[in-house]
Amino acid sequence: MKLLFVEDDALLRKSYSIYLEELFDEIIEAEDGKEGLEMYYKHKPDIIMLDISMPYINGMDVVKEIRKDDKDVTIIILSAHSDKAYLFDAIELNIFKYLVKPLPRSLFKESILKAIESRKGNVQDSVLILEDGFTWDAYNKVLKKDNKEVDLTKNEYKMLGEFCKDDIHYFTLMDLFKSIYDNDEEYSENKIMMILKRFRKKTSTKIIKNIYGMGYKFNIIK
């Protein structure tokens, strides 16, 4: 399991990293928000821990950018700020834990262990069995056919991520469009239909079920 630790205080960063080495397979360090985002896109960590007040890009803005790419990755805020505005932002951004420095080592360790446990639980439940021999690993974002990985576009990954949120209800074309494009992008039914058409062509028409008047959903076997 990989941890990305973004902290501009070098001494504190090294101190915590040494302590965390026994809990993670890999720890990626970044000294500011800009480098933190670069390391996130490069390594795609399982858990992210970061400060708020940092050079170039503050921690909350880093989280906002990450949430555009991944709404579910586990994020822990470790900051000296206890301002209510930050706490409200943390709730909106689905932060796993908001820890205020300084904090007891026992509380820090307990929070990290809970984050790891939660992440492992997500991994175990993340593989969906689909029609025609396909599987979708929601945690690693990998689609396979007979155990061979299928190449997907960025938009197709986003679309499948949306389907994974709820395997019971149907998604409208507008729902799928919003999951792929920014809010300021003008809605285009043709764009989303083209993504669906190309995806079905490279995979199977049975993976995504469509019922007229209801919408689209993953055709999950189990």
* pLDDT (tens digit per residue) in 37-88: 999 999 989 899 999 889 899 999 999 999 988 888 899 998 877 666 677 7
Angle at 24 between CA 18 and CA 26, to 5 degrees: 85
Q: Distance between CA 117 and CA 109 in Å, rounded?
A: 12
Give the per-residue pLDDT at 179: 85
Amino acid at 220: I
**Torsion over CA of 64, 44, 123 and 15, rounded to 10 degrees?**
-90
pLDDT band at 123 (very low <50, low <70, confident <90, very high): low
pLDDT at 124 over 60: no
Domains of the chain: 2-124 (3.40.50.2300), 127-218 (1.10.10.10)
Once rounded to an integer, what is the mean pLDDT over residues 107-111?
85
Distance between CA atoms of residues 172 and 214, nearest Å: 7
**pLDDT of residue 109 exceeding 60:** yes
Q: What is the mean pLDDT of the chain?
A: 86
Residue 93: count other Cβ atoms within 10 Å of its Cβ. Answer: 15
DSSP 95-134: -SEEEESS--HHHHHHHHHHHHHHHHHHHHT-EEEBGGGE
Structural contact between residues 63 and 75, judged by C-beta atoms closer than 8 angstroms: yes
By the 8 A CB rule, do 68 and 23 touch?
Answer: no
Out of 97-111, 124-138, 150-164, 167-181, which region has the weakest mean confidence (pLDDT)? 124-138
Counting residues of the chain whose pLDDT is more than 70, the rounded percentage is 93
Full-prediction pTM beyond 0.75?
Answer: no
How distant is the alpha carbon of residue 143 from its chain centre? Answer: 16
Q: What is the DSSP letter of 220?
A: B
- Residue 194's pLDDT band, with cuts at 50, 70 and 90, is very high
Residue 33: pLDDT above 90?
Answer: yes
Greater confidence (49 vs 131) lies with 49
Bigger pLDDT: 121 vs 41 = 41
pLDDT tier, 196 (very low <50, low <70, confident <90, very high otherwise): very high
- What's the whole-number mean pLDDT along residues 158-163? 82
Q: Which whole number is the average pLDDT over 162-174?
A: 81
What confidence score (pLDDT) does residue 101 get? Answer: 81
- Residues in the chain, how many? 222
What is the arithmetic mean of pLDDT over 5-34? 90
Q: Where are the alpha helices (DSSP H) in the chain?
A: 10-20, 33-43, 59-69, 84-92, 105-124, 154-165, 173-180, 189-202
- Angle in degrees, 0-180, between the axes of helices 189-202 and 173-180, rounded to the nearest 10: 90
**Interatomic CA distance for residues 206 and 40, integer angstroms:** 34
How far apart are the C-alpha atoms of 99 and 104, rounded to whole Å?
Answer: 10
